[in-house]
Amino acid sequence: MDQILQGSESKTPKNLSYIGKTLIYVTGGLAAGVSIVCIPFVSPALRKICLPYVPATTEQIAGVSKALAGRSGRLLDVGSGDGRIVFTAAKLGFKAEGVELNPWLVYYSRVAALFTPQCRDTRFYRKNLWNFDLKPYENIVIFGVEQMMRDFEKKLLNETNSGTVVVACRFPLPNMIPIETIGHGVDTVWKYVVKR
């Protein structure tokens, strides 16, 4: 009887050991996968200026569209996120492009563009804003954070041409005077024209 009990006891730890190891490997693999996917969303908090992904609201998109009424040409959405502003601009007739640091959002935007015929000519670049040339664009939209707007304003004044329209959402540019303010609260949009 003791031999039977010993035999069953020796099998149980081996089975549990195998199941336990399998659970550890699966859990570890899932944790690593989630970490890899989350890093681009969490890493902005580790930078000097944190620019988190926050999707544009319907009111913000309407405000941007109103600020761009009557305009045409090339448009850049700075921090393009999931591409909403770029897609809206493309539907309004702009040659619309976005620059975004988060690779997952860039890939998402590129794939989403394939499924919308009006947006197939849009472009999304995975680049750091501070190394990206603004000169080719007649229209620039930015959803920034307060800490970056002073430096972004300097970049605008150094790189853009006179007459370039800049639409700032959520936070205004600190020194330029807007020619139009649309909306209120978090949905406020400020329209500027670069003058030389």
Q: How confident is the model at residue 45 (pLDDT cuts 50, 70, 90)?
A: very low
Tell me which residue of 124, 102, 86 sits closest to 53, measured CA to CA.
102
Helix axes 84-91, 58-67, angle to 10 degrees: 40
What number is the average pLDDT over the span 84-95?
96
Tell me: the pLDDT tens digits for 122-170? 999 999 999 999 999 999 999 888 999 999 999 999 999 999 999 999 9
Q: Is 9 helix (H, G, I), strand (E, B) or coil?
A: helix
Local confidence band at 53 (pLDDT 50, 70, 90 cut-offs) = confident
How does residue 20 score in pLDDT terms, banded at 50, 70 and 90?
confident
pLDDT digits (tens, 9 = 90+) for 21-34: 777 777 776 666 66
The pTM for the full model equals 0.75
CB distance 53 to 105 below 8 Å: yes
